[in-house]
Amino acid sequence: MAVVGPGVIGTTVAAALHEAGRTPHLYGRRAREHLELRVEERRILVPGPVQTDPAQAKEPVDLVFLAVKATQIEAASPWLAALCSPQTVVYVLQNGVEQRAMPAPYIAGGQVIPSVVWFPAEAKPDGSVRLRRDARLTLPDTSGSRLVLEALRATRCAVELATDFTSVAWRKLLQNAVAGLIVLTRRRSGMYGRTDLADREAGRALEWDIRNGIVQRRGQAHGIPTPISDVVVPLIAAASDGPG
């Protein structure tokens, strides 16, 4: 098993796998000796190293946990090329409703499984990750999901299968779309916006297209007016990496 993109979500899943004796290989952008997840007072160390050169990925694996941001898939595609065979399942841990389509061009025939990530986690200044609530994932009820279910069986990361995954994913997307307003106003509000605000404050690219642009794009495709998105999308795009 491999985790590509051992950031906040990738570290949480890697720690869950490691605690269950299924330590994954770690592939990322920054070299590190280990990952650290903090859960309340507990610290879980996931042994590395985090490898940073796709040439270090010697052979395809059965299961890839893809946890880079949606804006980073293309840059991470050499990992997918190195790690995927037609039998590989790529499990995408990202927000949005385009998780199957976005990595597909970079995967040689493998199966892509989307998910809804329900837990909030955050990066700490010392490089560790703090899990702020119980980890929970929803997957579509398909044959490929069984491999993910088995990998995460009896771990701190609960997995549920949804027969109507599309509706679940859109419900989460609509929650995330509201976070666009929080990013624009730079004001936190309850459960929303920590990660997005942190990204904006650090000058990192925002996942505005998969969270807000998608509402406008799908609205246009289906002839449904999206007046709020028509205002929010250009503003949030300008606050990120340009008008898109």
Instruction: For the CB of residue 19, give the shortest distance to ligand NAP in the complex, in Å.
Output: 18
Distant-in-sequence, close-in-space partners of 157: CB < 8 Å, separation ≥ 6: 12, 13, 16, 135, 136, 137
Instruction: For the CB of residue 70, give the shortest distance to ligand NAP in the complex, in Å.
Output: 5
Nearer to ligand NAP, 207 or 209 (CB): 207
- Per-position DSSP letters for 3-41, written without gaps between them: EES-SHHHHHHHHHHHHTT-PPEEE-SS--SEEEEEETT
Instruction: For the CB of residue 179, give the shortest distance to ligand NAP in the complex, in Å.
Output: 9
Nearer to ligand NAP, 28 or 110 (CB): 28
Q: Identify whether 124 is a catalytic site residue.
A: no
Q: Which one of the listed residues 58, 69, 124, 172 is annotated catalytic?
A: 172
Chain contacts with ligand NAP (rule: CB under 6 A)? 4-10, 27-30, 67-70, 72, 75-76, 79, 93-95, 117, 120-121, 123, 195, 207
Nearer to ligand NAP, 143 or 217 (CB): 217
Q: How far apart are CA 163 and CA 33, in angstroms?
A: 40
Sheet of strand 157-162, all strands in order from the earlier edge strand to the far edge: 116-117, 135-140, 157-162
Q: How far apart are CA 94 and CA 3, in angstroms?
A: 13
Ranked by CB distance to ligand NAP, the top (closest) residue is 7
What type of residue sits at position 81?
A
Locate 129 and state its tokens: 């990750």
Nearer to ligand NAP, 6 or 110 (CB): 6
Instruction: For the CB of residue 10, give the shortest distance to ligand NAP in the complex, in Å.
Output: 6
Taking residue 228's Cβ as centre, other Cβ atoms within 10 Å add up to: 15
- Catalytic residues, which ones? 172
